[in-house]
Structure 1
Amino acid sequence: MGWSQVSPTRWERPLNGMEEYFVFIGNITAALYDGRQQYTVCSKVKVDLNLPNPGSALRNAWKQVRYEEPDIATTLEEGKKVYEVLDETGIEKWLESTFIVDPTRDGEELYRLGRKTKPATLYYLPKSSELVLHAHHATIDGVGMIMWWDRFFRALTNPKTDITFGDEHVRLAPALDDILGSGGPPTPGQNERATALFMEYITKLPSIGLISKVGKVPAGQCQAMEHVFDAETTAAIINACKARGITVSSAIHAAYIGILSKYADPESNTTRYTSPSEFNLRSHLEAPYSGTAAANYYIPLPFSIELPATFSEITTVLNKYYRTTIKDNPDILEIHGYFTRVLEQFVKTPVYQGAPIPTDALVSSLGIVESHLQRSYGNTVVVKDWKLACDVILGMTGFHFYTFHDKLRFVYQFNEAYQAPADIKMYLEDIERILKEELLGSADV
């Protein structure tokens, strides 16, 4: 499945299962909603820039990162990812179409518009001093977005003036399947284990869900509602989790399941929570792949628990799930590619396409942003804020959480036609209340 040269200037590789999944779902929603794609990744940074000509410097850094991180400039065709080596004229045309200075909008306005089908695009929004990167999820994942901004700001503060395009293809990232050795045909045993893992998820659906109009009304605008804790409360929650021997991810995920139970759609299956949760695999990869930015190097794995259950019971199960799922089952890495291929093939079936759309959120922890992104880069850049969201057009909502500047942050991505912003705000406030009551002893802390 590796990259192969098919002409003097063109490189291709087949999409793996996860990439094909994102392309397929994106194409369905694009066809229905004027090019807008489910799961398109959007990342926003608010910055202070100490540059005499920021527009020109940002444009040059975008060009430099294409050379250093060429996957960000790949395009998608039927069943494959494509990279074109461009001459200087071609690079200038690419810059004109993918580096956009928008003097009128801020990042939230841009996000709500919903992204139309196009290559990865960088926006500079001088009105709000923000930068926004839009990219297809088949190109980059959430942790990759954090890493990508670090690479971009390093290029901005250490510009190269002698870039000659032509050899950057050597830095194209291989598919995760190839790195983990599951890019070829599966053995009967591997296929059996991959199918069993998938069935572990699919046979436990339908799951508990929230009230939503998804699939019943046309899509509206996307929104990514943010809920930010103060630094004192964040530190208290982290310390309380450490004292209990549980991960922060387990506590937040358990609190989210708590609000699902409280506000559940009575027509959903309120006796079981089943959902895929995401594991970043970069720590399992050797260099340079452990630091690759523009790539999908994570795996969704099924989680299920019977309800009702207490916060303590749920955190205990989730803590073991997050800490030991891969550690105790290393063959998951071996069959990863075959598992995602089974998933990709299933979503193309009439059975999947005729099934109700899940109305719970896809839960994802991005950890500590500063693990990959600095707060400042010399005297040139101060990173004041960072945010990640995925477009929700016709599919699952998203619930991301992470810490940045010592503050815990929730970002809930939804579509305003399906769920009311006031309800999402209530859910996020209730998650905070549950965490404070269960971990700190009082919702007033």
Structure 2
Amino acid sequence: MPWTPTTSGFTRPLGPNEVFIKLVSDPGHALGREHWAPPRYIYGLVGFARSATNFDALQLVTSSFPAPQSSCARGIPNVIYKVPGSTDALNEWASQTFVVKADAPSADDVISTIAPAADAQLYYIPQSSELLLHTAHWRMDGVSGMLLLGQLVDLMTSHADTLLSGKLPDPFEAFDWGSESVRLSPSVEEAGNMPLTATEEHKAIAHGAVGTFALAAGALGVPYTGDASTLPSGTRAAKLKLSPRMTADARAAAKSRGVDITSAVHASLAAVNFRRAIPEHQGRHYTSTIKQSLRPYLPEPYSTPTAAAALFTSGWLVRVDASGTWDENARAHREYASTLVDVIKNLPTPTEPPSDMDISSMGIMEKYLNPEYGTPERGFSILNAGVGVKMLTRQGVVFVWTFRDQLTLRLVYNEAFHTPEQMNEFLKDVQGDLLRELEVTE
């Protein structure tokens, strides 16, 4: 159903895909955490680097207008957007959703401390010149976050002269509050005009995709710290980056084999899962997730950055057997949500906690975020960008993307179950396998 007006804003029911993500994420609230909450960040944010003007980054960021759906309060079964009714209300919202972490060395140090919140939050970390956008996964996906951060930097650039002058308008008086509702996105089911009543063909496809979740049973895992009673702690990350030359060579080598670089990384990730499996798991299959953005297949404006703040993704599981070769595995990695909700609600307690390392690819980050905004005198250079999720389980996820012609692998994990040394070595093993199979030298 579409958004409908209320006395204080707008509301709509959560869609099945959003309900599914909430079912996965919300149990962590009892521990003051939220599973799969996806932080996105841009760092090395160099503002007006070649200008003699004394630039106040904090003032510029806090004066920028946020994307409205990022303000949606958590509601069951509805999602709610409240329109600010006064200057005080707007200031209160800004104080709760924009946070300066002056003492934090980096965004990674902030991510591990963030608790669930009613609204999306934007953090500014001066020491590392980072902007960190953090929110519940049911509100938006990884692509959404990068699109929003790109729009934010673009907005800051376009208003640079006004902001630098120090003559800032009152944010409540300067905007027609309520008109921003045109940017509120529907659920993916509504955006895609998905029928309420599924045909037999649709049911068969949906049940086939949902059925892949059974592949998780009996899959291998890697060693972890603690036992089944150990509670999760903060999310941490290990990261590796290939040089532009190595990235270009790896892409070319993968293409010559008829696969893309993501498929090549996926095959190497599977190989390392097999090599580093718990000894008792030797001979088991590896199960991994195929995640798909539905945004390119939606009609306008939902396929465009205008509808950035939304959850427009889906996924299913695939099985990789230990007997498959690297080439075979690389080639293999090329009415759903509603059924999945019922499956998740009725899943039995696993006999052993899963502890495999999975993958999620963002592809070419420049599709969502420009490296440069504005001009050298009135603009920004974004030197790095990144994505991730909060992890409360023994599993980890390797996020893969390229930005400024460099392939990045970022493995997120929970520090209660894995050590930095273990995860760094795991990621180095993936990189080594990838370069060896593609015959790329460092």
When the two structures are superposed, what TM-score results if normalisation uses the length of structure 1? Answer: 0.88
Query: Residues 183, 98 of structure 1: CA spacing in aligned structure 2 closer, same or farther, 3 A cutoff?
Result: farther
The structure 1 segments of at least 4 consecutive aligned residues displaced by more than 4 Å after TM superposition are none
CA contact (8 A) 1:363 1:398 kept: yes
| Other-structure match for 1:107 | 107
RMSD over aligned Cα, in angstroms?
A: 2.0
| Other-structure match for 2:166 | none
CA contact (8 A) 1:271 1:308 kept: no
Which amino acid in structure 1 is aligned with residue 76 of structure 2? E
| Other-structure match for 2:51 | none
Q: Secondary structure at the match of 2:206?
A: helix
Cα shift readout 1:227-266 (whole Å, capped 9, x = no counterpart): 1111111110011112222111110000000001101123
CA contact (8 A) 1:209 1:358 kept: yes
CA contact (8 A) 2:238 2:427 kept: no
Q: Percent identity?
A: 23
Structure 1 residue 52 corresponds to structure 2 residue 64: no
Query: Residues 302, 394 of structure 1: CA spacing in aligned structure 2 closer, same or farther, 3 A cutoff?
Result: closer
CA contact (8 A) 2:215 2:318 kept: no
Tell me the distance in 1 between the aligned counterparts of 2:143 and 2:131. 17
Tell me the distance in 2 between the aligned counterparts of 1:369 and 1:226. 16
| Other-structure match for 1:313 | 328
Spell out the pairing of 1:201-212 with structure 2 (5 A cutoff): 201-202=213-214, 205-212=217-224
CA contact (8 A) 1:100 1:123 kept: yes
| Other-structure match for 1:180 | 192
Which amino acid in structure 2 is aligned with residue 348 of structure 1? K
Comparing 418-427 and 49-58, the one that deviates more = 49-58
| Other-structure match for 1:345 | 342
Q: 1:193 aligns with which of 205, 221, 225?
A: 205
Tell me the distance in 1 between the aligned counterparts of 2:312 and 2:132. 22
Q: 2:372 aligns with which of 372, 376, 385?
A: 376
Deviation at 1:208, TM superposition (A): 2.0
Comparing 124-133 and 9-18, the one that deviates more = 9-18
Q: In the comparison of the two structures, how many residue pairs are matched?
A: 416
Which amino acid in structure 2 is aligned with residue 119 of structure 1? D
Query: Residues 88, 156 of structure 1: CA spacing in aligned structure 2 closer, same or farther, 3 A cutoff?
Result: farther
Q: Secondary structure at the match of 2:202?
A: helix
Q: 2:73 aligns with which of 72, 75, 81?
A: 75
Tell me the distance in 2 between the aligned counterparts of 1:267 and 1:117. 40
Structure 1 residue 418 corresponds to structure 2 residue 430: no
Tell me the distance in 2 between the aligned counterparts of 1:248 and 1:300. 19
Q: Secondary structure at the match of 2:303?
A: helix
Tell me the distance in 2 between the aligned counterparts of 1:183 and 1:345. 18
Tell me the distance in 2 between the aligned counterparts of 1:203 and 1:263. 20
**Structure 2 unmatched runs, 5+:** 49-53, 163-168
| Other-structure match for 1:287 | 300
| Other-structure match for 1:40 | 37
CA contact (8 A) 2:18 2:187 kept: no
Tell me the distance in 1 between the aligned counterparts of 2:314 and 2:282. 26
| Other-structure match for 1:327 | none
Comparing 119-128 and 340-349, the one that deviates more = 340-349
CA contact (8 A) 2:9 2:178 kept: no
Query: Residues 267, 21 of structure 1: CA spacing in aligned structure 2 closer, same or farther, 3 A cutoff?
Result: farther
Tell me the distance in 2 between the aligned counterparts of 1:200 and 1:220. 29
Q: 1:254 aligns with which of 267, 276, 286?
A: 267
Which amino acid in structure 2 is aligned with residue 416 of structure 1? E
CA contact (8 A) 1:114 1:391 kept: no
Query: Residues 203, 264 of structure 1: CA spacing in aligned structure 2 closer, same or farther, 3 A cutoff?
Result: closer
Tell me the distance in 2 between the aligned counterparts of 1:87 and 1:270. 61
Deviation at 1:373, TM superposition (A): 0.8
CA contact (8 A) 1:40 1:115 kept: no
Tell me the distance in 1 between the aligned counterparts of 2:295 and 2:419. 36
| Other-structure match for 2:22 | 23
Q: Secondary structure at the match of 2:63?
A: helix
Deviation at 1:204, TM superposition (A): 5.9
CA contact (8 A) 1:219 1:393 kept: yes
Tell me the distance in 2 between the aligned counterparts of 1:169 and 1:183. 25
| Other-structure match for 1:326 | none
| Other-structure match for 1:407 | 406
Deviation at 1:374, TM superposition (A): 0.9
Structure 1 residue 12 corresponds to structure 2 residue 8: no
Structure 1 residue 217 corresponds to structure 2 residue 230: yes
Deviation at 1:183, TM superposition (A): 5.6
CA contact (8 A) 1:115 1:134 kept: no
Query: Residues 305, 102 of structure 1: CA spacing in aligned structure 2 closer, same or farther, 3 A cutoff?
Result: closer
Which amino acid in structure 2 is aligned with residue 202 of structure 1? A
Spell out the pairing of 1:321-360 with structure 2 (5 A cutoff): 322=334, 338-349=335-346, 351=348, 353-354=349-350, 356-360=352-356
Which amino acid in structure 2 is aligned with residue 72 of structure 1? S
Q: Secondary structure at the match of 1:82?
A: strand
| Other-structure match for 1:95 | 94
Query: Residues 350, 402 of structure 1: CA spacing in aligned structure 2 closer, same or farther, 3 A cutoff?
Result: closer
Which amino acid in structure 2 is aligned with residue 263 of structure 1? R
| Other-structure match for 1:325 | none
Tell me the distance in 1 between the aligned counterparts of 2:288 and 2:371. 34
Q: Secondary structure at the match of 2:39?
A: strand
Spell out the pairing of 1:141-160 with structure 2 (5 A cutoff): 141-159=141-159
**Structure 1 unmatched runs, 5+:** 323-337
Deviation at 1:361, TM superposition (A): 2.9
| Other-structure match for 2:177 | 165
Query: Residues 83, 395 of structure 1: CA spacing in aligned structure 2 closer, same or farther, 3 A cutoff?
Result: farther
Tell me the distance in 2 between the aligned counterparts of 1:136 and 1:350. 22
Deviation at 1:192, TM superposition (A): 4.2
Which amino acid in structure 1 is aligned with residue 119 of structure 2? P
CA contact (8 A) 1:38 1:395 kept: no
Deviation at 1:302, TM superposition (A): 2.5
Q: 1:364 aligns with which of 335, 360, 364?
A: 360
Deviation at 1:222, TM superposition (A): 1.2
Deviation at 1:189, TM superposition (A): 4.8
